[in-house]
């Protein structure tokens, strides 16, 4: 899992915890998680709260660039945090195009 964590450029608290490879369907699924009790900075611009607790999560899937000839997908519980100053806010993740189901570096992001 460490190889995929490094290849994706993930930093704490994110890590790859499970992979599923289906050669018949030419598909690779990477499951990302953060540890229990993890905190994230408030996504509001200029907010000084660096460690906000997770309020809730939503299961999300992103289409990644192909892994050789295999389609690749990232799966994660995307957290919202509870900031004492700004309330509940959606956390951004380094691998995703904002508001899209694709990862940074894919065509949809490079055109922006």
For the stretch 22-51, pLDDT in tens is: 999 999 999 999 999 999 999 999 998 889
What is the DSSP pairing of strand 27-34 with strand 70-83?
parallel
Alpha-carbon distance of 3 to 10, in angstroms, equals 11
> How far apart are alpha carbons 96 and 101 in whole angstroms?
7
Which range marks the domain in which residue 47 is found?
2-110
pLDDT tens, residue by residue, 48-98: 888 999 999 999 999 999 999 999 999 999 999 999 999 999 998 988 877
**pTM across the whole model:** 0.84
CA atoms of 104 and 67, how far apart (whole Å): 15
CA proximity to 36, closest of 91, 83, 79:
79
Q: How many domains does the chain have?
A: 1
Q: What is the DSSP letter of 11?
A: -
């Amino acid at each position: 899992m460490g190889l995929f964590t490094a290849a994706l450029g993930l930093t704490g608290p994110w890590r790859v915890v499970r992979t599923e490879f289906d050669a018949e369907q030419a598909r690779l699924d990477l499951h990302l998680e953060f540890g229990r009790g993890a905190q994230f900075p408030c996504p509001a611009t200029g907010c000084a709260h660096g460690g906000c607790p997770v309020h809730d999560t939503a299961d999300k899937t992103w289409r990644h660039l192909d892994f050789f000839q295999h389609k690749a997908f990232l799966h994660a519980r995307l957290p919202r945090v509870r900031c004492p100053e700004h309330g509940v806010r959606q956390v951004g993740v380094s691998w995703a195009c904002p508001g899209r189901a694709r990862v940074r570096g894919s065509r949809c992001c490079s055109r922006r």
